[in-house]
Structure 1
Amino acid sequence: MDLLRSLPLGLYLEQPITWLHHLDPRVKIAWLMSFLIAPVLANPIWRIALAVLLVAITLTAAIPLRVWKQQMGWLLMLCFFVFILSMVAPDGLGSDSQPRLPADEISFQQPPPTPKPGVVKESASTQKPKATKPVPTENPSKYRYVLFNQGPVKITRKSLDLAINVSTLLFTLIYSTNLFLLTTAPEEITAGIESLMRPLRAFKFPVTEVALTLTLSLRFIPLVLEEVQNLVRSVRTRAINWKKLGIRKSLQLWLMVAERLLENLLLRAEQIASAMKVRGFTSPDRHRVQWHQLRLKKSDWAGLVSLVVLWGARLIWGWET
């Protein structure tokens, strides 16, 4: 099962047991959906706060560094490159920004007042020169649309906001899902989803069938990876010279491998179905095995209260202006 262990995402961490493992799966599903929905129409500060919150949860849960490095190292690097590329890319704004005042300093003289009727106008020689009042050239506002402009690199406010939004959204969506899968067993996921879907039974929705199908599919994924690994090893051990085979024969060989993989998977599925029939699993409601008892504890209620506080802050301060 080396292929399954080398996957960068979606692994369940059995040891050590953290406080995230003890949370009810329904509470963790609610937090996951919040992390997926909260960045929508949120300002950049709120998006950064969500990413920092995910990192803080990981640190407080004392997840080993080897797991974080193996699974999240490439994600942090990807988000960093996305941030840099989005920041230096053109922002797509059609108008060019211009300063409010010209570059040269210009002073304007006030026109002489119009003389009143009956008042003798003084001659030019007797008039006293009036001091001209220059207009200040400095912009009283410190707002600048272009933040950095050196050669081909141009960073504007819009490109910076876009870079923050894209990179933080990518990190939040992938990392929150991975953290959920890292601390939640497949059986707990299906039990939590089935519990949350119970109100749909009033509409005659097959909740139990969907939960059973999801459980079997999650259990079938390691078998698929094992079959793929065995076929890849069988091809490697034969030391095939791909250059002599050519493109056509290489495609034929890989089609034969894919056909063999499909046959093995169908055989595994038939064996699982036969084993379920022998043990009396004739319908989803009969002989059901409950792996986990879903009960809300004090830590689960604390997580729900924290979730309410999070959404309260989101609705008050998190909107994009």
Structure 2
Amino acid sequence: MDLLRSLPIGLYLEKPLTWLHRLDPRVKLAWLMSLILSPLLANPYWRIFLVLFLFLITILALIPWRVQKKQMSWLLFFSCLILIMTSFAPDGFNISYQPRLPSSDISISQPTDYQYIIYQLGNFKVTRRSLDLAIRVSTLFFTLIYSSNLYLLTTAPEQITAGIEELLSPLRKFKLPVTEVVLTLTLALRFIPLVLEEIQNLIRSISTRAINWKKLGIKKSLQIWLIVAERLLENILLRAEQIAIAMEIRGFTSPNKHQVQWHQLKLNIYDFLALLFLFLFWFGRITIGNN
């Protein structure tokens, strides 16, 4: 099991260099926030459009399937599972009432073909409200995770922090520690792969010992996993101490006095085209996607 390749957290694809990599991180951050905020109070058609839109971006960017295979498979599995479970869950409106008047022999025909219950399998029913709620929850789950994954996949951690620092620079007038916050974010993004590597090494060390968990029982198995968790915490703290020592040796005193510019942010023609499409995206959201 390779956690560094199977989990989408903190994963950055260096090669191949796609057109998404070349976009300015501030533009990509604006698109990410738009994809996260646009499903709010939107109709189901717009939510389904966002899922198809993310698929289309992935195809046009020519991101290799080997990179997306494990992440996409698990994400689609959980999204479909949420869709099915929520569809058959009670919607709160499916309540049977006792009629106050006796039933009449005169049948009243339904003027339209409207049916509140779309599908019924025994005691399980799929109603219009439950289906609408299922589409909302499953598409929102997919959009939030996949859009964030796509942003991390095509944007280096230094570019992310540089773009956030540039956007938050006006807050320095209010004496907010923007540089310190950005430095903390940079270290956190760089530290995530190290944590995954430590977890991966510990899991591999346990699997190579061929422990018979059935003979150990629950109590001894928990003791082993507590020892592993303690060892994991020690290794993470050791890594953090090594990073702090390396920064001190290199003369790092404070972010303001020892600031390194990793990227020179500059908008090009492709960034302006992306902003134009972002404007059209929100125009479509307001005109078509309103609930």
Q: TM-score range by the shorter chain?
A: 0.7 to 0.9
Using a 3 Å threshold, how does the CA distance of structure 1 residues 260 and 202 change in structure 2: closer, same or farther? same
Alignment of 1:102-113 (within 5 A): none
CA deviations over 1:107-153 (Å, ceiling 9, x no partner): xxxxxxxxxxxxxxxxxxxxxxxxxxxxxx65333322222345334
CA deviation after TM superposition for structure 1 residue 154, in Å: 2.4
2 CA distance for matches of 1:105 and 1:240? 73
Q: Residue 308 in 1 paired to residue 266 in 2?
A: no
* Equivalent residues of 2:158, 2:262 under 8 A apart: yes
Give 2:49's aligned residue: 49
User: Which structure's CA Rg is the greater one?
Assistant: 1
Alignment of 1:171-320 (within 5 A): 171-242=142-213, 246-320=217-291
Structure 1 SS opposite 2:66: helix
Alignment RMSD (CA, Å): 2.6
Using a 3 Å threshold, how does the CA distance of structure 1 residues 88 and 254 change in structure 2: closer, same or farther? closer
Alignment of 1:40-79 (within 5 A): 40-79=40-79
* Equivalent residues of 2:10, 2:192 under 8 A apart: no
* Equivalent residues of 1:8, 1:70 under 8 A apart: no
Structure 1 SS opposite 2:59: helix
TM-score by length of 1: 0.80
Give 2:87's aligned residue: 87
Alignment of 1:17-56 (within 5 A): 17-56=17-56
Structure 2 SS opposite 1:42: coil
More helix by share: 2
1 CA distance for matches of 2:204 and 2:233? 17
Q: Which residues of structure 1 form unaligned runs of 5+?
A: 107-136
* Equivalent residues of 1:231, 1:261 under 8 A apart: yes
CA deviation after TM superposition for structure 1 residue 260, in Å: 3.1
2 CA distance for matches of 1:170 and 1:298? 33
Q: Which amino acid aligns with 1:177?
A: S
TM-score by length of 2: 0.88
Q: Which amino acid aligns with 1:196?
A: L
Q: Which residues of structure 2 form unaligned runs of 5+?
A: 98-102
Q: Which amino acid aligns with 2:197?
A: E
Of stretches 37-46 and 308-317 in structure 1, the one that deviates more from structure 2 is 308-317
* Equivalent residues of 1:186, 1:215 under 8 A apart: yes
CA deviations over 1:89-108 (Å, ceiling 9, x no partner): 222105559xxxx99667xx
CA deviations over 1:206-228 (Å, ceiling 9, x no partner): 00011111111222222222333
2 CA distance for matches of 1:241 and 1:146? 51
